[in-house]
Chain A
Amino acid sequence: MTDESRAGSAWATVRVPEGWQRLEVAGADAVIAPPPPAGGFRPNAVLTCVDSDAPIQDASVAALLAATADHPGALVVACDLWPHAVHPGRRILFTYPAGGGAEVVVQKFVWATGRRHVHLTASCAIYQHLSLDQGFNAVATSIRFEEGS
């Protein structure tokens, strides 16, 4: 990474909004997060890439199935076209109970490049969703696919 304002891998990067921090998480190409709140859930956005030449429709169905399979009690709310990139994308919105009465809202952005499936998984507590929704959308809109992705 040569651009300090971006985070990601050799295949895809997103812009790091001013004031957000990079976190180190094993298995992720990048994790960025707004400043931690005084308490409760720390919102974050995780960028990952997996090799796949399957089209966006398959990537979307896989992500929808994973939302309910990985999170018991999940409610998948929406799956929309996400046209703000050179590759076809989707924005999937779901919620799931995280224990102790907490509820997490996830906006999962999925792209299919022809060689890879790129995921940006943005999570926050449900009471943070309305204030962070646009910030997460802006991060997703900033996605840049690097050469060879």
Chain B
Amino acid sequence: MILDERAGPLAGEPLESLAFVRELQGFSAEGPVLPRAALDAIAAADRRGRLPRDQRGTATARALAAAHLLDDRDALTPEGLLVRSHWQSDSLLLEVRRRGTAGRLSAWRGRDTVLIAASAPAVAEQFAGDDVQLGIVSIDGAVPAIAAWIGIAPAWTFSDGPVTVPLEIYEARLRDAGTPAPASAGAHLRRAWSATWVEYLCSSPQLSLRLVTAGAAGLLGVVVSGAQATIDSVPPATAFSTLLAQYSDALEFAGR
């Protein structure tokens, strides 16, 4: 059993390393990878599933065909129609925009399922930045999928209290890990400050949640107000529950 040599002193007792858990799990979707722009073409198909004329024979159409979403008559396949069915109610439940390594995850509600279109996870980068992988999950399976994409995972978390910094300092730190930590930062935030940061802005029609993943130091919650950013550690369980609450509200709004 491996101990976490950095977290243990913060807790005042030996703590097991939790890093191995991240290696056992991650975001996985079973659908095709295609350019995000191809999703617009699917949405623009007519009632019978035929692509608009100006889309036929284009690189977008070829990408859809390669993903088995379009047949050789420029009509959506049953799989393509299933993807499109998630937009008939115009129900974007949740969108997560990623900064640090740019990316986006969108989740739309269908009748009994949720369509997820996600850039490659930040830790994986298996495919091009403008491409998305599609996945259709159950309504109850969406939050674990989104949490996995963000990288919510066990991490020893200690609160030294929130720290407020000028927004430009926060933005500088997002761009450059060499940006000095604020003088008021406690031991846990200092540890997190020195890790690799990726920001996730989770938005639903009702509210937004801004999280930063900081490697083994876990998650930070960030509240931007005017020219200030308030940063505090967030236990992963709390982040998961908050994301679940946000999703549940969005489902209710969309009329589950």
Knowing A75-B25, A80-B237, A129-B241, the reply to whether A57 touches B14 (Cβ < 8 A) is yes
Whether the pair B21, A81 counts as a contact (CB closer than 8 A) is no
Would you give the shortest CB distance from A31 to chain B, in whole angstroms?
Answer: 23
Question: How many residues does chain B have at the interface if contact means C-beta atoms less than 8 Å apart?
Answer: 34
- Determine whether the beta carbon of B25 is less than 8 Å from that of A74: yes
> With an 8 A cutoff between CB atoms, is B15 at the interface?
yes
| A77-B236 contact, Cβ under 8 Å, with A57-B16, A64-B21, A101-B112 | yes
A130 touches B18 (CB 8 A): no
A-B contact pairs, 6 of them (CB 8 A): A97-B144, A101-B140, A102-B138, A103-B140, A103-B141, A129-B244
A126 interface hit (Cβ, 8 Å): yes
By CB atoms of chain A within 10 A, which of B13, B16, B143, B235 has the most? B16
Q: Which 10 A-B pairs have the closest CB atoms?
A: A101-B138, A78-B237, A79-B154, A57-B16, A103-B140, A78-B236, A75-B144, A95-B144, A77-B240, A93-B237
Query: Of B64-72, B81-89, B145-153, which binds chain A?
Result: B145-153
In the complex, B11 has a CB within 8 A of chain A? yes
A53 at the interface (CB under 8 A from B): no
**Within 8 Å CB of A78, what residues of B?**
154, 235-237, 240
Q: Given that A127-B248, A129-B241 are known contacts, is A68 also in contact with B25, CB under 8 Å in the complex?
A: yes
Closest to A101 in B: B138
Whole-angstrom CA separation of A77 from B143 in the bound complex: 11
Does B139 have its Cβ within 8 Å of any Cβ on chain A? yes
A135–B48 alpha-carbon span in the complex (Å): 50
Query: Across the interface, do A64 and B144 meet the contact criterion of CB distance under 8 Å?
Result: no
Q: Does A139 contact B (CB under 8 A)?
A: no
Where chain B touches its partner, the secondary structure class is: mixed
Contacts A57-B15, A61-B1 hold; do A77 and B140 have CB atoms under 8 A apart? no
A130 and B248 contact, Cβ closer than 8 Å, known pairs A75-B147, A81-B11:
yes
Our pick among A68, A79, A88, A92 for the contact of B24 (Cβ within 8 Å) is: A68
Is B3 engaged at the interface, CB distance under 8 Å to the other chain?
A: yes
Q: B144, A76: Cβ atoms under 8 Å?
A: no
Q: Determine the distance from Cα of A95 to Cα of B147 in the docked complex, in whole angstroms.
A: 11
Once the chains are docked, how many angstroms separate the CA of A125 from the CA of B141? Answer: 11
- Tell me whether B245 is interfacial, beta carbon within 8 Å: yes
Known contacts A64-B21, A101-B139: A77-B237 contact under CB 8 Å: yes
A125 interface neighbour in B16, B140, B144, Cβ under 8 Å: B140
Contact of A130 among B15, B153, B241 (CB under 8 A): B241
Q: How many Å lie between the Cα of A103 and that of B154 in the bound state? A: 19
User: Is A77 a contact of B147 with CB atoms below 8 Å?
Assistant: yes
- The chain A residue sitting closest to B139, CB to CB, is A101
Give, as a whole number of angstroms, the nearest-CB distance from A98 to chain B.
9
Q: Once the chains are docked, how many angstroms separate the CA of A74 from the CA of B144?
A: 9
Give the one of A77, A88, A92, A125 with max B CB within 10 A: A77
Q: How far is the CA of A129 from the CA of B140 in the complex (A)?
A: 11
In the complex, the chain A residue whose C-beta lies closest to that of B236 is A78
Residue of A60, A79, A81, A130 near B245 (CB, 8 A) is A130
Tell yes or no: A51 within 8 A of B by CB.
no
Q: Mark A71-113, 1 if CB is under 8 A from B, else 0.
A: 0001111111100000010011101010001110000000000
Residue A146 interfacial (CB < 8 Å):
no
CB distance from A106 to the nearest CB of B (A): 12
